[in-house]
Chain A
Amino acid sequence: MSAHGILGYAAYLPRHRVQLSEVGATLGIAGGRGARVVASFDEDSTTMGVEAAAALLRTHPAAPGSVYFATTSPAYFDKTNASAIHAALGLPAEVFAADLAGSARSGIAAWRAAAATGGLAVLSDVRTGRPASPDERGGGDGAAAFLFGDPAVAIAEIIAESSVTTEILDRWRTPGEAAGGQWEERFGLEVYLPLVKRAAATVLASANLERADHVVLVSPNSGVVKQGPKAVTGTVSTTVSPVGHAGTADAGLGLADALDRAAPGETILVLSAADGCDAVLLRTTGRIADSRQASPVAEQLTDGIDVPYATYLSWRGWLEREPPRRPEPDRPAGPPSARSARWKFSFTGSACRRCGFVHLPPSRVCKKCASVDEMDRRSLAAAQGSVATYTVDRLAFSPSPPLIDAVVDFDGGGRYTLEVADAEPARLAVGTRVGLTFRRLYTAGGVHNYFWKARVLGGAPEGAERSTAGAGGRV
């Protein structure tokens, strides 16, 4: 048994959905049924990782010993993306943070590194493919985070792990390419299926089990996703990725979904077939019932909003739209961003010790009582507030016009004017309740401008049509 168990977990699925029927109608192909879960234009692997990790740490406030971030769609090379996640989570400087980038298997590597060190594994991906490609229709975007620590207080113990590695040209993408290649799926299936069976047999044997209660099987190879669950089954459930292939997040989203459902004392076998096969066998503890994530994967799947296919294509760069007749913004500058890192990345303002006035961004001189350098830091990243007034800006530059801004008054003090993420203008009014979400405002000069946006709280308004995803799902 591993030295560390899972203390908590959280998954994040972006709100937007592309209806596959619309893809089919647009391209003149059989698009299939259901919808694809897609990250918004202002989301990337880093921001979705923050979303999942922040949700997790809200219920487990202790700082993790390390942060391992895995993705096949890194926002940057040469610069660590995990450091932005580290900053957005407001973690102490002493916490190690690193990326494991490249293939779906990087997700397993992050998991293992975090499990070994009592750290935080953040698995996040934006998967794209050419219009009409299997990746476009069968993939999904999302993130999952797992916190490891003392098995005595874990919600799930790691009983056994096993791996087999193979060199195979099943999926590949050269650096700089937006879309990858795939060999015929039956070729990969023939290679992977025996490895899946072998890895499963190894961990089950080491635990003296014939079958696990729950089996989660994921793979970038769609044949494995179809045939694998027939070869290895669970006594209670056998599932694949909830959203379709989601890169490094695939196994994490599948496990999060299983943890949402598993009863105490049940075993979960996670199998990930990517350039080999990795198997992890877990057993839930009595703590699982009280420590599941606040928003289950199945619930997040149902809370979608449809985005037109053409808009989605423009978000991913497959369709270039005429921009508003406005200059593109300047790139964020390094030194100012470093000076204001607490503000920019963890929405930390200052509160006046004399009069209590909250300044967003932080100010040295109080706007209310003029005291100088008598401020305490205050992070409002987890704060909620109300819309004071708002507008739809059809002239502003935006990667996805129009730009929607709201003046937000935070509970307990502080006001700031923020863009509204995943905005449905009909749901905005003076007094609307909002929280915050970490997003990428735009990219200029090769620099991503990360900052916080307001997000309307609460579920769907009455009478609104919600979109559900069905690209992946249970079998």
Chain B
Amino acid sequence: MSSKGIRDRVAVVGMGCTRFGEHWDRSAEDLLVDATQEAFLATPGIRRSDVDAYWLGTLGSGQSGLTLSKALSLDYKPVTRVENYCATGSEAFRNACYAVASGAYDRVMAVGVEKLKDSGFSGLLRSDPPSDGTAAELSLTAPAAFSLLDPAYCARYGVDPADMRAAMTHVAWKNHANGARNPKAQFRSGVTKEKVEKAPKVAGRLGVFDCSGVSDGAAAALIVRAEDALDYTDRPMYVKGLALAAGPALGASDPEYDYTTFPEVVRSARDAFSQAGVTDPRHEISLAEVHDCFTPTELVLMEDLGFAERGQAWKDILDGAFELGGRLPVNPDGGLKSFGHPVGASGLRMLYECWLQFRGEAGQRQLADPRLGLTHNLGGRPGSCVSFVSVVGAQLG
């Protein structure tokens, strides 16, 4: 069973994205204004009053549609706030696209924002309902939960921990190198492999440079019916497939789950490829923006998304397969690692890179003739997560 999908029925005709980083001088409202203004200014055919409805994604930087309607002084428009862990930004986009595809609206906007740096704490904060205090995720942090992938992967495939370390280091090195070419990234300098490996440890073998940047930021997308797209821009981005899988948290309970894969990612990828008519992702996808929240995550994702054989991603990574000049560039914009991870904005930031690449506006990171892009956004942790996969294209058909 998979979704029927909305292939080529909606298109993105304008996007905006703030620089990600520590915006001590900007509030969540400021970031919302900045990102949406960039999208509107780039799309002269659509004014704010032309947008029929809005979807706002934020994990914790506001509640309800009022967070957006107040910030933009909207004129009594419908605004839906969505939350789906770290896949929140993608979820805002998915629901906005479906609203246009349904025929209910002609022009909508998906916006994502997160203001993480006001808390004074390191890493992501949780907002859990009152509980009995027994859930592991109440105490175990995200880097620790994802660090479980490392020893499990080595054990499953007999990979020497030193080779695994080298592959994780390569992911961090590559994404920093890409981010260094991106004026909007949180970290705009490369790092040496030595620096990655000598960084203070956070959890398991993960050091500071194995973790994504904690940052503030916002991103926005204007979405219209595909048949209207050329009215607003000569280079729209067409939606080919949108998939979401929320797992039953089986892995956290099932001894058969071995912490070397995300079943939720496998399912959502299969669904998205089916909707988009992609049968050979390794060769059909021109670029992938994936959820590299921690370095071993990107490694496992290469296998779950079908970009590498099981047990082989570590080798492909070390061979340079996913570098800017490799066979399938992954996270050309720097990824969560280097671009930063303001949760609600991240899914839209991934789409923003596809948008720039399709338009030939990616500057120093511009790929040659990209046609199909994949974005992958993960929320939760190994054994218990939601996964989003989209396929977007530069052309219809």
Bitwise interface map of A from 201 to 238 toward B, beta carbon under 8 Å scored 1, else 0? 00000000000000000000000000000000000000
User: A151-159, A302-310, A338-346: which one contacts chain B?
Assistant: A338-346
- Is B258 an interface residue, CB under 8 A from the partner? yes
**In the complex, chain A residues 335-365 whose Cβ is within 8 Å of any chain B Cβ:** 335-337, 339-340, 343-344, 357-361, 363
- Is A441 an interface residue, CB under 8 A from the partner? yes
Minimum CB–CB distance from B198 to chain A (whole Å) comes to 15
User: B76-84, B146-154, B215-223: which one contacts chain A?
Assistant: B146-154
Given A324-B122, A389-B152, decide whether A415 and B254 contact each other with a Cβ distance below 8 A. Answer: yes
Residue of B whose beta carbon sits closest to that of A430? B155
- Chain A residues contacting B139 (CB-CB under 8 Å) are 329, 393, 396-398, 403, 405, 419, 441-442
- Is B71 an interface residue, CB under 8 A from the partner? no
- Chain A residues contacting B128 (CB-CB under 8 Å) are 330
- Is B123 an interface residue, CB under 8 A from the partner? yes
Most B-side CB within 10 Å, residue of A395, A396, A405:
A395
- Does the CB pair A389–B122 fall under 8 Å? no
Minimum CB–CB distance from A324 to chain B (whole Å) comes to 7
Interface size on A, residues (CB 8 A): 51
Given A330-B128, A395-B144, A396-B140, decide whether A337 and B120 contact each other with a Cβ distance below 8 A. Answer: no
- Is A451 an interface residue, CB under 8 A from the partner? yes
Instruction: Tell me the bound Cα distance from A226 to B119 in angstroms.
Output: 57
Residue of B whose beta carbon sits closest to that of A340? B132
- Chain B residues contacting A359 (CB-CB under 8 Å) are 253
Instruction: Tell me the bound Cα distance from A420 to B259 in angstroms.
Output: 19
Given A325-B121, A391-B147, A392-B203, decide whether A405 and B133 contact each other with a Cβ distance below 8 A. Answer: no
- Does the CB pair B130–A333 fall under 8 Å? yes
Given A330-B128, A403-B140, decide whether A393 and B133 contact each other with a Cβ distance below 8 A. Answer: no
- Is A79 an interface residue, CB under 8 A from the partner? no
- Is A160 an interface residue, CB under 8 A from the partner? no
**In the complex, chain A residues 408-435 whose Cβ is within 8 Å of any chain B Cβ:** 409, 413-419, 430
Instruction: Tell me the bound Cα distance from A393 to B136 in angstroms.
Output: 12
- Chain B residues contacting A417 (CB-CB under 8 Å) are 136, 140, 252, 383
- Does the CB pair B131–A336 fall under 8 Å? yes
- Chain B residues contacting A392 (CB-CB under 8 Å) are 144, 201, 203-204
- Is B255 an interface residue, CB under 8 A from the partner? yes
- Is B141 an interface residue, CB under 8 A from the partner? yes
Given A324-B122, A360-B253, A391-B204, decide whether A451 and B134 contact each other with a Cβ distance below 8 A. Answer: yes
Instruction: Tell me the bound Cα distance from A390 to B136 in angstroms.
Output: 12
Minimum CB–CB distance from B276 to chain A (whole Å) comes to 30
Instruction: Tell me the bound Cα distance from A398 to B140 in angstroms.
Output: 10
Given A360-B253, A388-B152, A390-B151, decide whether A405 and B131 contact each other with a Cβ distance below 8 A. Answer: no
Minimum CB–CB distance from A369 to chain B (whole Å) comes to 11
Minimum CB–CB distance from A391 to chain B (whole Å) comes to 4
Bitwise interface map of B from 380 to 397 toward A, beta carbon under 8 Å scored 1, else 0? 000100000000000000
- Is B202 an interface residue, CB under 8 A from the partner? yes
- Does the CB pair A407–B148 fall under 8 Å? yes
Most A-side CB within 10 Å, residue of B131, B139, B145, B152:
B139
- Does the CB pair A405–B144 fall under 8 Å? yes
Minimum CB–CB distance from A454 to chain B (whole Å) comes to 11
Bitwise interface map of B from 262 to 275 toward A, beta carbon under 8 Å scored 1, else 0? 00000000000000
- Does the CB pair A389–B151 fall under 8 Å? yes
Can you name 15 extra interface pairs (CB under 8 A) apart from A339-B132, A396-B140? A327-B125, A329-B133, A329-B138, A330-B130, A336-B132, A344-B133, A391-B148, A391-B203, A393-B139, A394-B201, A395-B123, A395-B144, A403-B139, A407-B383, A442-B139
22 contacts between A and B (CB under 8 A): A324-B122, A325-B121, A332-B133, A333-B133, A343-B132, A367-B250, A388-B255, A389-B152, A391-B140, A391-B148, A392-B203, A395-B141, A395-B202, A396-B144, A396-B203, A407-B259, A409-B255, A414-B255, A415-B253, A416-B253, A417-B383, A442-B139
Shortest Cβ-Cβ A-B pairs, 5 listed: A332-B133, A393-B144, A333-B130, A417-B136, A409-B255
A contact set with B: CB distance below 8 Å: 324-327, 329-333, 335-337, 339-340, 343-344, 357-361, 363, 367-368, 388-398, 403, 405, 407, 409, 413-419, 430, 441-442, 449, 451
